[in-house]
Structure 1
Amino acid sequence: MSSILAAGTAAPDFTLRVTPDQSLTLSNLRGRPVILAFYPADWSPVCGDQVTLYNEVLPEFHKHKAELLGVSVDGVWCHAAFARDRRLHFPLLADFEPKGEVARKYSAYRANEGICERALFVLDRQGVIAWSYCSPIAVNPGADGIIDALENLTDETNGHGQFENAHHEK
């Protein structure tokens, strides 16, 4: 397993294809938390379980105003078929060409195998990594770590807002 980017690091910006004619730029999502879920391949058994789980807990992510993005080195057509088959309600981004360029920026690329690590990143509203985790390829990391990280972001925001209000009242 690689040593992925750690909490406190500014998340590298990127633009990746979501469909053949649509791209998504990470910095356009500033102002809300973002979950980046890098995974090895669309049709592998563990990946299928992982994205299906995230699809089921999407309402919990949305409670925290978080945007979930799946990222792998598969192309847009493969992503489209996989998302349709799994009835996914979040975008899958194609880190296809140059292959793994974005995963490399996050130190989440396995060059020997040509796939992404199973790596998770929760970014705060300013685009800084608040939490990251790299799971063994054969292990579904679940959603608990993501939800805990989002709750910590919410707590910090609430705490900061309360401090500001108390400070202004004096």
Structure 2
Amino acid sequence: MNTSLAEHHASPLPPGAQAPDFTLPATPDQKMSLSELRGAPVILAFYPADWSPVCGDELGLFNAALDMFKRYQAQFVAISVDSAWSHAAFAAQRGYHFPLLADFEPKGAVAKRYGVYRAAEGVSERALFVLDGEGVVRWSEVSPISINPGVDGVLDALQRLASTPQQDLS
């Protein structure tokens, strides 16, 4: 469900924009760069915080959908402003099988570049981006922070990307 951006005070990168590259901690001692994932679709899920009920439910749903994403050769990556240590504990406790990247210091720098940082709260919006293999945004959605957006929009975007790779999918 697309909602009004004015409601969120966010201006996410639009379809057709080149997704900014970044390098963020994936674990306390390892980093991951977006550019490492080029050549296949990437799903970026920005979420407000580890340990919150809606975020845990959302990421659990995406964890359960990983096999569906793999059908499109898509990599799923989640990003929040929490530390790599918090992510490590959260992922271990919840059994997540995808990278949780720490947009911790400088806080929210990547979320800001994607237009989904909530400065008043110091967290990112609940936002999803589907990138093509060249790192171009093909679909994005910002959801209310208290609502789990589910996976249907992502799966629809991946299906459209597979059938029409050069079009914006919004």
TM-score normalised to structure 2 length: 0.91
How far is 1:156 from its partner?
1.7
Q: Which residue of 1 aligns with 2:150?
A: 142
Given candidates 121, 127, 134, the residue that maps to 2:135 is 127
Q: How many residues align?
A: 158
Q: Which residue of 2 aligns with 1:23?
A: 31
Matched, 1:58 2:83: no
Aligned mates of 1:43, 1:63 — CA distance in 2? 29
Matched, 1:3 2:11: yes
Given candidates 74, 81, 102, the residue that maps to 2:110 is 102
Instruction: Return structure 1 stretches of 4+ with deviation > 2 angstroms.
Output: none
Letter in 1 for 2:69: F
Given candidates 72, 77, 93, the residue that maps to 2:80 is 72
Given candidates 91, 94, 100, the residue that maps to 1:86 is 94
RMSD: 1.0
Gap regions ≥5 residues in structure 2: 1-7, 166-170
Q: What percent of counterpart residues are identical?
A: 60
Aligned mates of 1:21, 1:89 — CA distance in 2? 18
Superimposed CA distance per residue, residues 115-161 of structure 1 (whole angstroms, 9 cap, x where no aligned partner):
0000000000110000000000000000000000100111125xxxx
Q: What pairs up with 1:24-43 in 2 under 5 angstroms?
A: 24-43=32-51
Q: Which residue of 1 aligns with 2:5?
A: none
Letter in 1 for 2:80: S
How far is 1:3 from its partner?
1.7
Aligned mates of 2:140, 2:11 — CA distance in 1? 10
SS in 1 for 2:164: helix
How far is 1:12 from its partner?
0.4
Q: Which has the larger radius of gyration?
A: 1
Q: Which residue of 2 aligns with 1:155?
A: 163
Aligned mates of 1:25, 1:78 — CA distance in 2? 19
How far is 1:21 from its partner?
1.2
Indicate the structure with greater helix content.
1
Letter in 1 for 2:127: A
Aligned mates of 2:103, 2:136 — CA distance in 1? 21
How far is 1:28 from its partner?
1.3
Letter in 2 for 1:25: S
Aligned mates of 1:151, 1:65 — CA distance in 2? 11
TM-score normalised to structure 1 length: 0.91
Q: Which residue of 2 aligns with 1:162?
A: none
